[in-house]
């Protein structure tokens, strides 16, 4: 199916002449290339957004904790029933564990996740007046909440810039030779030094969007990649444009996205509710 026409089409890479970054690329040259990649991704994904459904900071915090080891789609299909049963931290802290486990079972690791959600809800109730704190140092003290989750919440619920280093983000920045670090905290520090703080949150969305749609882990669609000329790892995946286009996912491939309630400017189709796939 054809790629989405919103922004720059992924198929524009067909006419590009991919070139690899010099092996002796200077740090300054790398920074310039990285910032150009960010500008290009902003044109390709002007609608980039967090792919978890949420209406307030508490819902985003819970959804992000649930997203570990599963897809955002599965989380989004599960949280409507969860928030209907437990709309506030006070409600969730007082839940019957077995009942919550049954609701979130589709997300996997449901016993450990129930323990984390009840624990962080109790902490919000007892230590923060039932409100999600807007500081990283407070968020990371909550059960089941690390820097990645904290940055997701800060950037998208509070407007505080943050870099979200998930598996997609780490994979792509290493492919682009921005860093060879594997530790997420070190990756975050390196990337924070390349971009101004004002870009951190949207950069995270753009990189994750690109990783999910085009630059896949096992078989990246190199031949349909709009930033191929800037990628030193071009050729790790399918370079034939027609074959590569068949690898595109979500709206780029004409398929539903992950959110049941996507932003108004999202060019793709909403995801189906649980059981309607």
- Per residue in 162-171, pLDDT tens? 999 999 999 9
* Residue located via tokens 């922004």: 7
Q: How high is the pLDDT of residue 23?
A: 67
Q: What are phi and psi of 262, to 5 degrees?
A: -75, 165
Nearest CA among 172, 214, 227 for reference residue 40: 227
What is residue 98's predicted lDDT score, i.e. its pLDDT?
Answer: 97
Q: State yes or no: is 166 an active-site residue.
A: yes
pLDDT at 274: 87
Residue 153, token pair as written in the block: 């919440």
What's the pLDDT score for residue 5? 41
> Which of 166, 177, 243, 249 is flagged as catalytic?
166
**Lookup result for tokens 């962080």:** 120
91 is catalytic: no
Q: From the candidates 53, 72, 113, 148, which is the catalytic residue? A: 148
Element (H, E) at 37: helix 27-44
pLDDT of residue 18: 54
Residue 222 in contact with residue 11, Cβ under 8 Å? no
Contact 174, 180 (CB under 8 A): yes
Q: How confident is the model at residue 3, as a pLDDT?
A: 42
* pLDDT tens sequence across 136-190: 999 999 998 999 999 999 999 999 999 999 999 999 999 999 999 999 999 999 9
pLDDT at 9: 46
Query: What does the pLDDT profile of the chain (277 residues) look like in tens digits?
Result: 334 444 444 444 443 445 554 568 999 999 999 999 999 999 999 999 999 999 999 999 999 999 999 999 999 999 999 999 999 999 999 999 999 999 999 999 999 999 999 999 999 999 999 999 999 999 999 998 999 999 999 999 999 999 999 999 999 999 999 999 999 999 999 999 999 999 999 999 999 999 999 999 999 999 999 999 999 999 999 999 999 999 999 999 999 999 999 999 999 999 999 877 6
């Amino acid at each position: 199916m054809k790629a989405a026409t919103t922004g720059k089409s992924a198929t524009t890479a067909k006419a590009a002449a991919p070139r690899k970054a010099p092996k002796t690329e200077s740090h300054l040259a790398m920074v310039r290339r990285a910032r150009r990649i960010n500008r290009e991704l902003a044109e390709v994904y002007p609608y980039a957004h967090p792919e978890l459904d949420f209406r307030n900071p508490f819902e985003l915090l819970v959804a992000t904790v649930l997203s570990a080891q599963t897809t955002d789609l599965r989380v989004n299909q599960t949280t409507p029933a969860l928030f209907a049963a437990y709309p506030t931290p006070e409600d969730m802290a007082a839940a019957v564990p077995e009942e919550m486990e049954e609701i979130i079972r589709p997300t996997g690791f449901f016993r450990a996740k129930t323990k984390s959600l009840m624990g962080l809800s109790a902490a919000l109730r007892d230590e923060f007046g039932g409100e999600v704190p807007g500081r990283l140092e407070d968020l990371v003290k909550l059960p089941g909440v690390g820097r990645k989750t904290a940055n997701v919440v800060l950037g998208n619920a509070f407007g505080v810039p943050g870099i979200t280093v998930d598996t997609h983000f780490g994979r792509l920045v290493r492919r682009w030779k921005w860093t060879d670090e594997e530790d997420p905290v070190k990756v975050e520090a390196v990337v924070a030094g390349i971009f101004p703080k004002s870009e951190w949150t949207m950069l995270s969305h753009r990189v994750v969007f690109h990783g999910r749609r085009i630059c896949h882990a096992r078989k990246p669609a190199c031949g349909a990649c709009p930033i191929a000329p800037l990628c030193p790892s071009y050729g790790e995946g399918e370079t034939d444009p027609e074959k590569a286009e068949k690898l595109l996912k979500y709206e780029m491939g004409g398929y539903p996205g992950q959110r049941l309630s996507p932003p108004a400017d999202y060019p793709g189709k909403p995801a189906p509710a649980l059981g309607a796939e």
